[in-house]
Homo-oligomer: A and B are copies of this chain.
């Protein structure tokens, strides 16, 4: 096995001018939640797996007792309408563990993408605010200035110098290394507290992405999940509130 190994699980799909959409684990798992939901809703088909020696040496256990080596997975979907394009969707268990591993992984993803004719990418992630956010905005950054106007028109938000620290991880690297190869792309970042997985932010990201790609999908399941998470967050806040009171009490006493 090479450092990063691609394994086709079906015949290589023949796609016409496909767009790559990436959502790997990250802050609030926004990108992963969004792409997984999209895959499910449009019934995209898995066609390839990517393994890396820079992923953790780990297998997951499926509900039937079988194991699954951690990986990244590629799905495809063929356009149904004239105003749509074929899609390649990427999600997975991990990003690379090390800087070096991240670069190797993204290079392998771009190799596959170019091999299948990809010229354009949308990468999805979260933008961690560190505080609660009622109505998460979706920020973006792009390889080419010409996309800025269009994305703003579709509801994405342009804030100068935000995120200040740039984009760390696969979502940024795909655009950065892709640009060196002449690919174009946009990274959407949903605002998120960053504490828990955030289906609300994923929904906000998908709202924009589906507008841009002319794909109409049901987002109600994400809404449902968002409510469940909100309940959990509420409980955590209560427990923290209690323990804060308690610790203040103790401090007062002590």
Contacts and interface: CB of A to CB of B under 8 A. Distances in A.
Nearest to A63: B160
Contact of A142 (B65, B148, B162, B166): B65
Interface stretch (A72-80, A101-109, A201-209): A101-109
B58 A167 contact: yes
Nearest to A158: B65
Given A63-B160, A161-B61, A168-B56, A69 B103 contact: no
A71 to B, nearest CB: 9
Interface residues of A, number: 56
Contacts of A160: 63
Contacts of A179: 67, 69
Contacts of A134: none
Q: Say how many copies of this protein the assembly contains.
A: 4
Contacts of A167: 58-59, 61, 67
Interface stretch (A38-46, A47-55, A223-231, A232-240): A47-55
A59 B166 contact: yes
A6 B89 CA distance: 31
28 contacts: A1-B107, A1-B180, A53-B104, A54-B99, A57-B99, A57-B102, A57-B106, A57-B170, A57-B172, A58-B168, A58-B172, A59-B141, A59-B166, A59-B173, A59-B175, A59-B176, A61-B141, A61-B163, A61-B166, A64-B145, A65-B145, A66-B141, A66-B143, A66-B145, A67-B172, A69-B177, A69-B180, A70-B166
Interface of A: 1, 7, 51, 53-61, 63-70, 96-97, 99-104, 106-107, 140-145, 148, 158, 160-163, 165-170, 172-173, 175-177, 179-180, 187
